[in-house]
Amino acid sequence: MKVIYLHGFNSDGDSRTVKNLRKTIPDLISVSYDYILADKAYEKIRETINETRQVDGDIILVGTSLGGFWANYFNQEYSLKSILVNPSLYPWISLAKYIGLNKNFNSGEERILTAENVAAYKKYETTIIPGYHRVVVLGTKDDVIDYRETEQVFKGKAEIILINEGHRIENKDRISQLIIDVDNWMVG
CATH classification at residue 44 = 3.40.50.1820
Count of Cβ atoms closer than 10 Å to residue 175 Cβ: 23
Domain of 35, in residue numbers: 2-89+126-184
Task: Determine contact, residues 117/37, Cβ cutoff 8 Å.
Answer: yes
pLDDT in tens, 6-26: 999 999 888 888 888 888 889
- Please tell me the distance from the alpha carbon of residue 59 to that of residue 49, in angstroms, as a whole number: 8
Residue 187 confidence (pLDDT): 42
Name the pTM for this structure.
Answer: 0.91
Q: Which of 178, 183, 153 is nearest to 163 (CA)?
A: 178
Inform me whether the pLDDT recorded for 186 exceeds 60.
no
Counting the structural domains of the chain, the total is: 1
Let me know if residue 68 belongs to a domain: yes
Q: Give the residue-averaged pLDDT of 49-57.
A: 92
Mean pLDDT over 69-76 rounds to 96
Which residues, 6 or more positions from 45, have their beta carbon under 8 angstroms from its beta carbon?
6, 31, 33, 70, 74
Q: Is residue 157 assigned to a domain?
A: yes
DSSP structure class, residue 91: H
Q: Return the H-helix or E-strand segment holding 145.
A: none
Mean pLDDT of the residues in the chain: 90
Could you tell me if residue 111 is inside a domain?
A: no
Render pLDDT for 82-108 as a digit per residue (tens, 0 to 9).
Answer: 999 999 999 999 999 999 999 998 888
CB 138 within 8 A of CB 47: no
